[in-house]
């Protein structure tokens, strides 16, 4: 039950994009088309889960025993960048079709707030291994949910008559505001 609460909390109540504002660059950049958003959401969710697991191992078996906790930012950034780079090379070699589909997103993910933020939150909150992974997967799923909803709205928006000065980014932000407003309705559902 505890894990379920944690998962649902990460998906909707504390949605990373709409209540904590992480990963906005990708959120606004990619949400123009629905198919790209689905790909991006899945890529973020899977990379987030794996890199959080790696970060947890490094944090608890290297940084904490040697009293190097203050280096966690440097270590996590390098770790995630290396992991994503490695993944890119591996996918390019073994699954070229998948690389065609996901390749461009991987580069964008390498230095992204969400992917760095979740391991840092896990480290600060002292979550155990399973909890870290559940939190990371929930956050990734929340990101995917938000970006897919946003893309569906923006695709419909192409047929709307938007004032000229608000076209593009302006209206995208306002729609995100409305979406955040509706997600605010979930707050208080799960006590923190």
Binding site for another protein (CB under 8 A): 18-25, 28, 70-71, 73-74, 77-78, 81, 111-113, 116-117, 120-121, 124, 163-166, 169-174, 176-178, 180-181, 183-184
Q: How far is the CB of 114 from another protein (least distance, A)?
A: 9
What is the Cα Rg of the chain in Å? 18
96 or 177: CB nearest another protein: 177
Q: How far is the CB of 19 from another protein (least distance, A)?
A: 5
Q: How far is the CB of 141 from another protein (least distance, A)?
A: 19
Q: How far is the CB of 89 from another protein (least distance, A)?
A: 15
45 or 176: CB nearest another protein: 176
149 or 176: CB nearest another protein: 176
101 or 108: CB nearest another protein: 108
Q: How far is the CB of 97 from another protein (least distance, A)?
A: 27
- How far apart are alpha carbons 180 and 37 in whole angstroms? 18
Secondary structure (DSSP) of the chain = -HHHHHHHIIIIIT-TTTTT--SHHHHHHHTTSHHHHHHHHHHHHHHHHHHHHHHHHHIIIIITTTT-GGGHHHHHHHHHHHHHHHHHHHHHHH-HHHHHHHHHHHHHHHT-HHHHHHHHHHHHHT--HHHHHHHHHHHHHHHHHHHHHHHHHHHHHTTS---GGGTTHHHHHHHHHHHHHHHHTTTTSS--
- How far apart are alpha carbons 125 and 186 in whole angstroms? 22
38 or 113: CB nearest another protein: 113
């Amino acid at each position: 039950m505890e894990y379920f609460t944690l998962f649902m909390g990460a998906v909707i109540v504390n949605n990373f994009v709409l209540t904590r504002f992480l990963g906005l660059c990708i959120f606004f950049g990619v949400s123009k088309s629905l198919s790209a958003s689905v790909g991006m959401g899945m890529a973020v969710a899977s990379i987030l889960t794996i890199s959080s697991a790696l970060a947890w191992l490094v944090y608890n078996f290297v940084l904490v025993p040697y009293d190097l906790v203050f280096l966690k930012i440097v270590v996590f950034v390098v770790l995630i960048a290396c992991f994503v780079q490695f993944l890119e090379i591996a996918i390019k070699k073994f699954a070229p079709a998948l690389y065609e589909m996901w390749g461009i997103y991987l580069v964008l993910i390498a230095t992204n707030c969400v992917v760095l933020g979740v391991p840092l939150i896990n480290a600060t909150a002292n979550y155990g291994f399973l909890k870290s992974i559940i939190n990371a997967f929930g956050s990734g799923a929340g990101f995917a949910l938000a970006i897919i909803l946003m893309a569906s709205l923006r695709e419909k928006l192409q047929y709307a008559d938007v004032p000229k000065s608000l076209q593009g980014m302006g209206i995208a932000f306002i729609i995100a505001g409305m979406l955040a407003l509706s997600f605010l309705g979930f707050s208080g559902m799960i006590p923190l």
